[in-house]
Amino acid sequence: MQIDILTLFPQMFESPFSTGILKRAIDHKLVRINICDIRDCTHDKHHTVDDYAYGGGAGMVLKPEPIFEAVESIKPDIEEGVNMLPIILLTPQGRPFSQEIAYELSRYMHMILICGRYEGVDERVRGHLVTDEVSIGDYVLSGGELAAMVVVDAVVRLLPGVLGSEASLLDDSYATGLLEYPQYTRPDEYKGWSVPQVLLSGNHAQIANWRREQAILRTLERRPDLLDKANLSLEERRLVDRLKQS
């Protein structure tokens, strides 16, 4: 997969992409991440990227020309498959990012992320350039850079070969529609707190049942809204009803 990120602050991306899973994915050529400085697509002496809002009001608005030019400088390589290329603006006005969207994006060969800044982006970028707008939550960041990092991390770890064990993806919180069950490692007793006996039993069927039940319980306690969409058996639905009543 290739990911192009358009930003006014390329330095912000240095550290997240040079450690851990993302670094390994880049080193193994499972993903290519290209950071494009929007300022490089300006042609005036001052490299102007923003201007006052028509109609007045506080704050500056990102100009359309450098953003269009930056995207067009990337697009010619893949002109044939242009409909296959998501061009995503990170903005608090976008659709809420989710594991489902991460899966959806991980199926593309290429995507472009545009990091908004200042008070906003000229509406013509929204209307005539981007194919999608994504928000990472109901709060306002100073720009789309951190949001782009979140999206890249969530998408890249889904690419084949990026995680050591594909199985670990299956149990992930949200991949099952449920929050993940509690995990323990050695020692089996720490400060008097012991690991649940079933996990030490070696009985794989019982362990799987316990984990599934814990995942349901945890989801019910913390994110009951997720249970409506989760893929539960009839018996599990009954368990949820019983737990709700108690």
- Positions annotated as catalytic residues are 92, 119, 157, 172
What radius of gyration do the chain's Cα atoms show? 23
Which of 85, 130, 136, 149: binder of ligand ADE (CB under 6 A)? 136
- Give the C-alpha separation, 23 to 27, whole Å: 6
Rule CB under 6 A: say whether 135 interacts with ligand ADE: yes
Q: Tell me whether strands 87-96 and 132-135 are parallel, antiparallel or unpaired.
A: parallel
Task: By CB under 6 A, name the one of 7, 91, 176, 219 that touches ligand ADE.
Answer: 91
Query: Should residue 90 be labelled a site residue for ligand ADE when binding is judged by CB under 6 A?
Result: yes
Residue 153 beta carbon to ligand ADE: minimum distance, rounded to whole angstroms: 14
Residues whose CB falls within 8 Å of the CB of residue 152, separated by 6 or more in sequence, listed in order: 3, 5, 16, 17, 22, 33, 113
Nearer to ligand ADE by Cβ, of 121 and 230: the residue is 121
Which residue from 35, 141, 163, 220 is in contact with ligand ADE, where contact means CB under 6 A? 141
Identify the helix (H) or strand (E) that includes residue 52.
strand 50-52
Separation between Cα atoms, residue 29 and residue 4, nearest integer Å: 15
Please tell me the count of residues contacting ligand ADE according to CB under 6 A. Answer: 13
Chain residues in the site for ligand ADE (CB under 6 A): 90-92, 116, 135-137, 139-141, 143-144, 147
